[in-house]
Amino acid sequence: MSEEEVQPSPKKPIPPESEKPKQKRRGPVRKKKPVTEKRNDLPENSVNAVDQDDKKPETVKPPTDKGGTPKNVPLKVKPSIDIPRNVRELADLKGKRPIVALTAYDAVMGRLVCNAGVDFILVGDSVGTTLLGHKTTIPVDMTDMVRHTAAVRRSQPNCLLVADLPFGEASFSFDRLLDSARRLMQEGGADAVKIEGGRDVADDIEKLVATGIPVLGHIGLLPQTVKAIGGYRKFGVDRDEAADLYTDAIALEEAGCFAVVAEMMDEAVAKELSKQILPPLIGIGSGAGCDGQILVSTDLLGYGLRKPPPFVKPYANLSQIISKALSQFVSEVREGKFPS
Ligand code: KIV
């Protein structure tokens, strides 16, 4: 999303605790299992591929070719004792430490993001707006999602990988939804899928989960509905909308989502929701009260054509660095400095 498209939201008070709709939970409360095991099935260059007892970060020398040129991206490997190996372990992190996730869309970024030590990678349909030049995520289709998911998987076979179901996939039939989720897992190599929506998609999510497909929910701002909502804005500031978000979050919990993304949600509502539901609530532009944070990697890296949304902290300005390097190359060729 771009900053220019963020719309103001009507200000109304958040419903007090006593006025929240009381939901009847359909299923039994899922028991959480403590994370006790360490990851030991990872490739050598993985963030976890160090002696778990060695607390000091260790620099790994990249492999070089015969001329001594590095063949791979240099990696700073830090020990990590609790990077989740599966969605159950991810869910179990709730209340223990903040969960952290980033998007990646290709093999290079997949490798870098995984080695930074994230708990999972999301191959978001934000690939449409960040890399493919679309104005919204709506044009992104299954071909895009399978291709980008597979590229990320090829670079990091052991990182927990979630892939977005693109616009429309949850609206045809359950069979089509199942087939699309199957493709993301079998052809793309995803461990789980993400679906935008709350109670409207909860029944289908419950069936997917029963089939063995782990689902990450997504409520608050749903970028796939941007044409209907008229622009990007905060959700849950209005009292009725806050109550709706609560109902949606409970529906996703009951459907069996292992975690729920809360995008651009009123901070107080997000904080309260994360206390109310069992699955971790992973915020993006929803404040510090969530159980974890996810960001679009290109936004925090300053790599892209569009201005990142205001809640993103710029950790780098890659576009500037790349522009400078490219211009220098162009000048040096023109001036006869390269090749020298
Ligand atoms: O597509 C995406 O990158 C997302 C994140 C914003 C959570 O859905």
52 or 321, which is more confident: 321
d(CA 310, CA 5): 11
Answer yes or no: is 149 within a domain. yes
Mean pLDDT for 116-134 is: 97
Is 126 near ligand 1, meaning CB less than 6 Å away? yes
Q: Is 296 in the pocket of ligand 1 (CB under 6 A)?
A: yes
- The confidence score (pLDDT) of residue 306 equals 81
Q: For residue 247, give Cα distances in angstroms to 22, 31, 233.
A: 9, 21, 20
Upstream peptide bond of 339 is cis (omega within 30 degrees of 0): yes
Euclidean distance between CA atoms 65 and 118, whole angstroms: 29
**287: how many CB neighbours lie within 10 A of its CB?**
17
CA 77 to chain centre: 22
Residue from 1, 152, 294 to probe ligand 1 pocket by mutation (most atoms less than 8 Å from CB): 294
Flag whether 172 is in a domain: yes
Is the CB–ligand 1 distance for residue 155 below 6 Å? Answer: no
Q: Is residue 12 part of a domain?
A: no
Give, to the nearest 10 degrees, the angle between helix 199-211 and helix 174-186: 50
pLDDT class of 258 with cuts at 50, 70, 90: very high
| Whether residue 95 has pLDDT greater than 70 | yes
pLDDT of res. 230: 82
| 272-303 pLDDT tens trace | 999 999 999 999 999 999 999 999 999 999 99
> Is it the case that residue 89 has pLDDT exceeding 90?
yes
Q: Is the pTM of this model over 0.75?
A: yes
Strand partners, 220: 263
pLDDT at residue number 149? 98
The CA 261 to ligand 1 mean position distance, Å, reads: 9
Pairing of strands 58-60, 75-77: antiparallel
In the numeric block, the tokens 């260059």 are attached to: 45
Ligand 1 atom nearest to CA at 126: 1
- The helix (run of H) or strand (run of E) holding residue 253 is helix 239-255
Q: Is residue 290 part of a domain?
A: yes
Q: Which of 206, 241, 253, 263 is catalytic?
A: 263
Q: What is the pLDDT of residue 232?
A: 85
For ligand 1, atom 8, the nearest C-alpha belongs to 124
pLDDT tens, position by position, 29-84: 343 333 333 333 333 333 232 223 333 333 334 445 455 444 555 444 554 558 99
Q: Is residue 305 part of a domain?
A: no
Which atom of ligand 1 is the closest one to the Cα of 164?
A: 1
Measuring CA to CA, which residue among 197, 173, 193 is closest to residue 182? 193
Is pLDDT at 251 greater than 60 in this prediction? yes
Atom of ligand 1 nearest to the CA of 223: 8
CB 242 within 8 A of CB 15: yes
Residue 21 has pLDDT above 90, yes or no: no
Task: Read off φ and ψ for residue 202, nearest 5 degrees.
Answer: -65, -40
Distance 18 CA to ligand 1 centre (A): 32
Domain with 85, as residue range(s), is 33-299
CA distance 50 to 29: 36
Ligand 1 centroid–CA 130 distance in Å is: 11
CA distance 31 to 208: 20
18 in any annotated domain: no
Q: Which residues pair with 64 in a beta bridge?
A: 70
pLDDT at residue 157, rounded to an integer:
80
- Which of 56-65, 85-94, 135-144, 331-340 shows the lowest mean pLDDT across its residues? 56-65
pLDDT of residue 85: 94
Active site residue 263: yes
Residue 65 located in a structural domain:
yes
Residues in a beta bridge with 197: 218
Q: 150 in a domain, yes or no? A: yes
Protein residue with its CA nearest to atom 1 in ligand 1: 124
Instruction: Give the ligand 1 atom nearest the CA of 194.
Output: 8
The encoded tokens of residue 20 equal 């929240």
Provide the number of structural domains found in the chain: 1
* CATH number, domain containing residue 257: 3.20.20.60
How far does residue 185's CA lie from ligand 1's centre (Å)?
A: 18
What percentage of the chain's residues is helix, strand, coil (to nearest 5)? 35, 15, 50
Residue 319 CB coordination number (10 Å): 14
Evaluate whether 34 touches 260 at the Cβ level (below 8 Å): no
From ligand 1's centre to the CA of 63, what distance in Å? Answer: 34
